[in-house]
Amino acid sequence: MTDLNQIHAQMTEWRRDFHRHPEFGFEESRTAAIVAEKLRGYGVEVATGIGGTGVVGTLKRGTSNRAIALRADMDALRIPEATGKDYASVNSGVMHACGHDGHVSMLLGAAKMLAEQGGFDGTIRFIFQPAEEWGKGALAMLNDGLMSRFPFDEIYGIHNMPGYAVGQFRTKSGAFMSAEDNFEIILKGTGGHASRPDTTREVLVAACATVINLQTIVARRLSPTDIAVVSVTELLTDGVRNALPGTARILGDTRSFRAEVSAEIEKQMHIIARGTADTYNLDVEIIYTREFIPTVNDAVLTSEALSAAQAIFGAENTAELDAPVGGSEDFAQLLQHAPGCFVNLGNGENSAPLHNPTYDFNDAGLIHGALFHATIARRRLPVIRRGAGQEETAATQRPS
């Protein structure tokens, strides 16, 4: 039986090393090499370079032809770190501000447990994905033959969540996380001297009107029963203090949970932007892209995940959310190819927010994530036992 204190100490060491050496999306060569080395050391079959820097480990036991996948993301963000930790990033301007260092370490810990203990009948795929923050890594692995080369019947993934206490588990059946679409509206006119606006087709007033008008998409143009967000995040012009601008760029993103809502947001954005541009005698260009699709959990497998979590976290710390959350997750692409469930684990009630320069993954949660991975794998690939007196495995123990 794996000693939980020992594996927790190892995962903490790994996690802090990954934190010290963060790598941006599709640049995770060091991380991937360490992952592959450790998996091979456990006797796991390893394939590297999947979708660029992705790693897939395969562990087989017994005779079942069923396979499940467990996924962790590896990439960091271009954010300068301000934690002051002794294991803070040594890569200037890049840090693990979303906890992917912890996600990798939890899955490695689970691989070690499962390789040493077994306790399942079938195949487990350990998927270490690049470039989740871009929303490009899962597609890269899929386009590189992930499903044909490493097929699986269902898939599970974990993300830490600030605001929930360590040792708490949350998920939701159905739509769990939103789609993310990005947009850019470019208004083009003629700039000129600030003292003579009548000789220009300046764009700043029109840009401000466009920003305000975009707020009516959710407030007045969508059904009140649809959940959506339209956020303008940047307004950039080529003007200066005494010159009216001739070009303005409005950038932002939208969130929604159904493809029909995303399509309606795009349609209404075109109507508003073109109408406002016409009002101010301007030209307009609209760029609308879909970066993340909604993360939709399978109902049956969500129930399985909740049951598995109760064995680890306790029923009092395990819950299904009433409403979806507004963040987006590249795991959604994998759910297009196999049913599964994405879950959140608490990172501490006083944790800094994700994508914040002072954020740090809470090492106390590592054992919970590793145990969840191992437990759901065993539940979904059960060994048919004969006779009584079976010894309890580490994956069904509660952390102390």
The pLDDT value given to residue 393 = 45
- Domains for the chain: give ranges and CATH numbers: 4-177+294-396 (3.40.630.10), 179-291 (3.30.70.360)
- B/e letters for 42-57, b = 16+ CB within 10 Å, e = fewer, are bebebbbebbbbbbbb
Within a 13 Å sphere around the CA of 54, how many CA atoms are in the beta-carbon half? 27
Q: What is the pLDDT along the chain (400 residues), one digit of tens a residue?
A: 568 999 999 999 999 999 999 999 999 999 999 999 999 999 999 999 999 999 999 999 999 999 999 999 999 999 999 999 999 999 999 999 999 999 999 999 999 999 999 999 999 999 999 999 999 999 999 999 999 999 999 999 999 999 999 999 999 999 999 999 999 999 999 999 999 999 999 999 999 999 999 999 999 999 999 999 999 999 999 999 999 999 999 999 999 999 999 999 999 999 999 999 999 999 999 999 999 999 999 999 999 999 999 999 999 999 999 999 999 999 999 999 999 999 999 999 999 999 999 999 999 999 999 999 999 999 999 998 765 545 444 444 566 5
The pLDDT value given to residue 29 = 98
Question: Could you give the C-alpha distances from 325 to 52, 369, 385, in angstroms and in order?
Answer: 30, 20, 40
The pLDDT value given to residue 208 = 98
C-alpha angle with apex 307: 303 to 312, nearest 5 degrees? 145
Q: How many residues does the chain have?
A: 400
Which residue(s) pair with 319 in the sheet?
Answer: 170
Can you say whether the dihedral through the CA atoms of 395, 396, 399, 400 is positive or negative?
A: negative
The pLDDT value given to residue 394 = 43
The pLDDT value given to residue 1 = 58
The pLDDT value given to residue 395 = 44
